[in-house]
Structure 1
Amino acid sequence: MTRPVHILLVDDNPNNLKVLSEAIQGYGWKALMATDGESAIEQTEYAIPDLILLDVMMPGIDGFETCRRLKANPITENIPIIFMTALADAKDKVKGLEIGAVDYITKPFQQEEVIARLKLHLKISHLTRTLEESVQKRTAELTQSLHNLQQTQLQLIQSEKMSILGQLVAGIGHEINNPIGFIAGSLSHIEEYTNSLLSLISLQQQKFPDSDPEIEDLIAEIDLEYIHEDLPKLIKSMSQGINRLKDISLSLRTFARADISSQVEFQIHEGIDSTLMLLKHRLKGSGNRTEIKVVTEYGNLPPISCYPGQLNQVFMNIIANAVDAFDETDHQYFQQTSSQPTIHIITSVDSQRENVIISIRDNGCGMPLEVQARIFEQSFTTKPVGKGTGLGLAISHEIIVNKHHGNINCNSTLGDGTQFTIILPINYCG
């Protein structure tokens, strides 16, 4: 059932109220009445009339002040107000229009004129509301469409990046694993052969201490004693290098697992460790910046059902951003505070054992509130042109919230660092 039109009549003259009320009710409109400005304001707030006929000259606050108060109130500011006045001064009419009235009716009024003006402004008010509703609806539709488009773009970018990364890592792994295996196998034989040769030389020197002068000259020239001491160290260093290459290869495979089509059981700590391994070169000191210390406090986490490659990308984005922040921080900041650039990673399970919690905190210079409020927006970046795309944290938010039904938030204070907290369900099945 359609609500009848309500018109508030405000006049200190009972005869005027009676005449106007009868005229209004004859058109099926409902009349509300007030005899002063204070009661008109009070009645308007709870009755919300469709239009107000307001007398200018009244006891207490006049019509102009009543209009000002109604227009200053968000609840009543959009109700059209028509002044009724016996004043013929153009300045008074202009004054009323400036403070928000939509029209004037001059006393003594003609009933036909009053009804005609009421119809006109009720129609204008209805059209205005309809237009505003249409605009709001269309704006909401466009906003949702834009949001859906941005989400689709992020998902396409994410899928493409993971696909390319998976193919790249698979190719690199295939290319380097074979020579690594060959070198590692050969190195064990080289170590054995070297030890045998050095033992033979030592034994020969013991059995034949007086050797040929030419041999003695060569021994001095090549510094046999130094070779005897350094060669095992070289072989040990080569072995450590091979192990390092194996670790990097394993970290690449762990980091770039492109389990896009289905979720798998995954230990979060493996992903964090592989990320730190790949960023190890950036954690070392360079130039004026000292080495970045990484402190890990791992809780007893169960494997969780997830897309490992995507979660590893989130860890990479957040930790790499922390390193970037240290690179951009004046090195004197840490000298003055006698502190070392540090990234603190803490993992735990919540009290209900339904979620894992990952906290990644740095002690950098922090972010202002206006930057913090926008960090998950697509294409928003504070980095110089060519240094960042503004997609890293937007994709991270997409991965955590939409792909894993988790939560990610940031808490940062200028001069006191930044902390990202990630909450992931243990047994979520997407």
Structure 2
Amino acid sequence: MMIEPLLKPMHILLVDDNPNNLKVLSEAIQGCGWKTLMATDGESAIEQIEYALPDLILLDIMMPGIDGFETCRRLKANSITQNIPVIFMTALADATDKVKGLEIGAVDYITKPFQQEEVIARLKLHLKISHLTRTLEQRVQERTIELTKSLQELQNTQLQLIQSEKMSTLGQLIAGIGHEINNPIGFMSGNCSHIEEYVNDLLRLVNLQQQKLSDSDPEIAELVEDIDLEYLVEDLPKILGSMHQGISRLKDISLSLRTFARSDISSMVEFQIHEGIDSTLMLLKHRLQDQGSRPKIEVIKEYGNLPPITCYPGQLNQVFMNIIANAIDAFDDLYQDGSDQKIAAATPHTIAIATSIDHQQKTVSICIEDNAFGMPPEVQAKIFEPSFTTKAVGKGTGLGLAISYQIIIDKHNGQIQCSSISGQGTKFIITLAI
């Protein structure tokens, strides 16, 4: 894999109480085109870092005042400096000291007396790793911001769909958002494939190096054990798989948005009703889940073999949204006063959606039935009236079923019927010509 060139001069902080070591290291580093900063003890190094953040720190362990270990601890405890790579310089050969340094956050060790070639090679390696890490983190952060923004737009749109029953004015907005979030989703999907390919290449390289060097280099063996290479190789593909699943979920939501908000007000088109129902359920999925006091609502689908029908898809989807959202509201209302929660929770909450075709009449039927508390006769008689609502202030306009009635009766020459038994549940049956 090609490494991008480092565009700006790298600044390396040298911390050593031996002036001769500082001079030798500084000359070697400057010969590579890097800039050097110098300090002779840990406290002055920490003070200097506050004014100029280096890209890497070469830190001696044995120094007057606070030693290298304590200096490293303080750097790692500071959110501003915790991500700066630290390489220890020491004359100690004790493995315990090396482990101690790595545990508190160092990325490597250089043992004195050191060879300039080795120092430069290690610096180049860790500068490249640090650069790649920062670049990847920046890209991930940028994509995360885009994704978060898209998700927020999606959630806001879903909230509008659920709470505002004048959904005919939102169709184009929803469709536009569904289209817009496809761009970052497509970008992330394409990049994930490349990342997976790069990771596989790196793992193959590591495996080959292990085969060639496993018995010849104790430092590599120690690093392999420290980073738990076997677990890393096993877990990394799983992480990539989770990312693919998340992107797939976003694609499904985007498709549901575009399916739900079909912008076809001016003309009728052929449409598969099941796609509209499924897109509506996808947008309401978060409301169907366990809400704490209220258990999960189970959706039972019994779809017949329906042909496409000629209709206004966006408007039909609004009808499905109104009816199913009202059913969810009915279950939520069971838990408002808390008096019948135990009785309500004892019965599984379900919304059953069944479709069928009448070949003789050349019609299709959609039945949406819940087992919530139902409606008394006096309420049932008024549910399609625009001026009637049972919703509390701030819970909606109460126009949803009135709009649904107009869409089915006036726009599609169909029928919509409601039957409800108080304390048992409510059923809506929609009949449309093929």
Distance 1:371-1:176 versus aligned 2 partners, 3 A rule:
same
Partner of 1:318: 323
Instruction: Give me the whole-angstrom Cα distance separating, in 2, the residues matched to 1:211 and 1:291.
Output: 59
1:28-47 map, 5 Å: none
Aligned equivalent of 2:373, options 362, 365, 369: 365
Partner of 1:288: 293
Partner of 1:254: 259
Partner of 2:199: 194
1:164-179 map, 5 Å: 164-166=170-172, 168-179=173-184
Instruction: Give me the whole-angstrom Cα distance separating, in 2, the residues matched to 1:315 and 1:350.
Output: 20
Partner of 1:162: 168
Give the counterpart letter for 1:390 in structure 2: G
Distance 1:337-1:269 versus aligned 2 partners, 3 A rule:
same
Give the counterpart letter for 1:178 in structure 2: N
Q: Tell me, what secondary structure is at the counterpart of 2:181? A: helix
What is the Cα deviation at residue 234 of structure 1?
1.2
Instruction: Give me the whole-angstrom Cα distance separating, in 2, the residues matched to 1:312 and 1:334.
Output: 34
What is the Cα deviation at residue 217 of structure 1?
4.6
Q: Tell me, what secondary structure is at the counterpart of 1:377? A: coil
Instruction: Give me the whole-angstrom Cα distance separating, in 2, the residues matched to 1:364 and 1:174.
Output: 36
Q: Tell me, what secondary structure is at the counterpart of 1:356? A: strand
Distance 1:205-1:196 versus aligned 2 partners, 3 A rule:
same
What is the Cα deviation at residue 170 of structure 1?
3.7
Give the counterpart letter for 1:397 in structure 2: Y
1:117-143 CA distance string (max 9 Å, x none) = xxxxxxxxxxxxxxxxxxxxxxxxxxx
Q: Tell me, what secondary structure is at the counterpart of 1:183? A: helix
What is the Cα deviation at residue 360 of structure 1?
0.2
1:242-274 CA distance string (max 9 Å, x none) = 111111111111100121111111110010011
Give the counterpart letter for 1:280 in structure 2: K
What is the Cα deviation at residue 211 of structure 1?
5.9
Distance 1:170-1:363 versus aligned 2 partners, 3 A rule:
closer
Instruction: Give me the whole-angstrom Cα distance separating, in 2, the residues matched to 1:278 and 1:334.
Output: 29
Using structure 2 for the length normalisation, give the TM-score: 0.58
Partner of 1:230: 235
Instruction: Give me the whole-angstrom Cα distance separating, in 2, the residues matched to 1:306 and 1:295.
Output: 25
Aligned equivalent of 2:427, options 416, 419, 425: 419
Gaps of 5+ in 1: 1-156
Distance 1:239-1:421 versus aligned 2 partners, 3 A rule:
same
Instruction: Give me the whole-angstrom Cα distance separating, in 2, the residues matched to 1:227 and 1:210.
Output: 21
Distance 1:252-1:337 versus aligned 2 partners, 3 A rule:
closer
Partner of 1:181: 186
Partner of 1:244: 249
Is the Cα–Cα contact under 8 Å of residues 175 and 262 in structure 2 kept in the other structure?
no
Distance 1:381-1:224 versus aligned 2 partners, 3 A rule:
farther
What is the Cα deviation at residue 281 of structure 1?
1.1
Distance 1:253-1:231 versus aligned 2 partners, 3 A rule:
same
Give the counterpart letter for 2:371 in structure 1: N
Instruction: Give me the whole-angstrom Cα distance separating, in 2, the residues matched to 1:375 and 1:197.
Output: 64
Partner of 1:390: 398
Instruction: Give me the whole-angstrom Cα distance separating, in 1, the residues matched to 2:359 and 2:254.
Output: 36
Partner of 1:309: 314
Distance 1:358-1:205 versus aligned 2 partners, 3 A rule:
same
Partner of 2:209: 204
Partner of 1:350: 358
What is the Cα deviation at residue 161 of structure 1?
4.2
Instruction: Give me the whole-angstrom Cα distance separating, in 2, the residues matched to 1:289 and 1:369.
Output: 26
Instruction: Give me the whole-angstrom Cα distance separating, in 2, the residues matched to 1:270 and 1:415.
Output: 32
Q: Tell me, what secondary structure is at the counterpart of 1:265? A: strand
Instruction: Give me the whole-angstrom Cα distance separating, in 2, the residues matched to 1:202 and 1:334.
Output: 58
Is the Cα–Cα contact under 8 Å of residues 163 and 258 in structure 1 kept in the other structure?
no
Q: Tell me, what secondary structure is at the counterpart of 2:382? A: coil
Partner of 2:275: 270
1:325-349 CA distance string (max 9 Å, x none) = 1111138556567431111000001
Q: Tell me, what secondary structure is at the counterpart of 2:316? A: helix
Distance 1:336-1:162 versus aligned 2 partners, 3 A rule:
closer
Q: Tell me, what secondary structure is at the counterpart of 2:388? A: coil
Using structure 1 for the length normalisation, give the TM-score: 0.59
Is the Cα–Cα contact under 8 Å of residues 375 and 420 in structure 2 kept in the other structure?
yes
Partner of 2:60: none
Residue correspondences, number: 268
Q: Tell me, what secondary structure is at the counterpart of 1:409? A: strand
Partner of 2:410: 402
Instruction: Give me the whole-angstrom Cα distance separating, in 2, the residues matched to 1:285 and 1:322.
Output: 15
What is the Cα deviation at residue 190 of structure 1?
1.2
